[in-house]
Amino acid sequence: MTTTTTGRAALLVLADGRFPAGGHAHSGGAEAAVAAGRVHDAVSLEAFCRGRLGTAGLVAAALAAAAAAGVDPLLLDEAADARTPSPALRATGRKLGRQLMRAARACWPSPALDALAAARPRGVHQPVVLGLAAAAAGLGPLDAAYAAAYEAVSGPATAAVRLLSLDPFDATAVLARLAPELDHVAQRAVLAAESALDSDVDALPAASAPLLEIAAEQHAAWPVRLFAS
């Protein structure tokens, strides 16, 4: 699908951190990484975001692109479960999916979103909802992949500003330096989505991020935390 001028504007809305999809309450693993000393400045934040982009970010981007391309969202939701070993992260993915579903249905009413919400009332993984929301907004698979990949790094970068009192200019510079890699991840995600459309969801990437999974389980058990995940 070719993105129209209206579609490009919709992508800005969908990727905006102020879009009420609940992402502001989640650090994408940054809070646990800061507590462990793995993220402590702009340099270590960039390394963390780069690793997250190439693993969890790639998986999310491919799921979103596949949903936007027309792959069965129920199958994609199961694929997301299989690619998320951590129960804490599975719960987070569905919680964010429910919030995004509410926002997307308010902004871009869609029979596909309505049907998915009815089929899975307990929630659907966020990247899958993102892909359907993108399609409802007139966007294509590449747009959905960009939105998912950008969210994978912008969330931790924004959280680091609060967690470390990091200079916002430094955090934004991290995102700017990651732009070429974000382009690459989005393109890979679309190719994987095309393969999934031609064959099955096993064609989607299953990049592993064990440290993110382990840290998520530890973070979920904290009695006091600034972010939900």
Is 140 contained in some domain? Answer: yes
For residue 166, what pLDDT is reported? 95
Is 200 contained in some domain? Answer: yes
pLDDT tens figures, 99-111: 999 999 999 999 9
Is 9 contained in some domain? Answer: no
pLDDT tens figures, 142-198: 999 999 999 999 999 999 999 999 999 999 999 999 999 999 999 999 999 999 999
Tokens at 17, concatenated: 């951190």
Mean of per-residue pLDDT scores for the chain: 94
> How many domains are there within the chain?
1
**Sequence-distant contacts of 98-103: CB under 8 A, at least 24 apart:** 98/123, 98/124, 99/20, 99/21, 99/22, 100/21, 100/22, 100/126, 100/129, 100/130, 100/133, 101/129, 103/19, 103/20, 103/21
Measured CA to CA, the distance from residue 126 to residue 46 in angstroms comes to 24
Measured CA to CA, the distance from residue 128 to residue 114 in angstroms comes to 13
Q: Which amino acid is at 214?
A: I
Q: Which domain holds residue 178?
A: 44-220
Measured CA to CA, the distance from residue 41 to residue 54 in angstroms comes to 20
Is 26 contained in some domain? Answer: no
For residue 7, what pLDDT is reported? 60
For residue 8, what pLDDT is reported? 78
- What is the secondary structure of 76-105 as a DSSP string? HHHHHHHT---HHHHHHHHHHHHHHHHHHH
pLDDT tens figures, 65-104: 999 999 999 999 999 999 999 999 999 999 999 999 999 9
Is 11 contained in some domain? Answer: no
Tokens at 226, concatenated: 């600034």
Is 210 contained in some domain? Answer: yes
CATH of the domain at 65: 1.10.4190
Is 137 contained in some domain? Answer: yes
Measured CA to CA, the distance from residue 126 to residue 165 in angstroms comes to 28
Of the candidates 13, 15, 31, the residue with the CA atom closest to the CA atom of residue 23 = 15
Is 227 contained in some domain? Answer: no
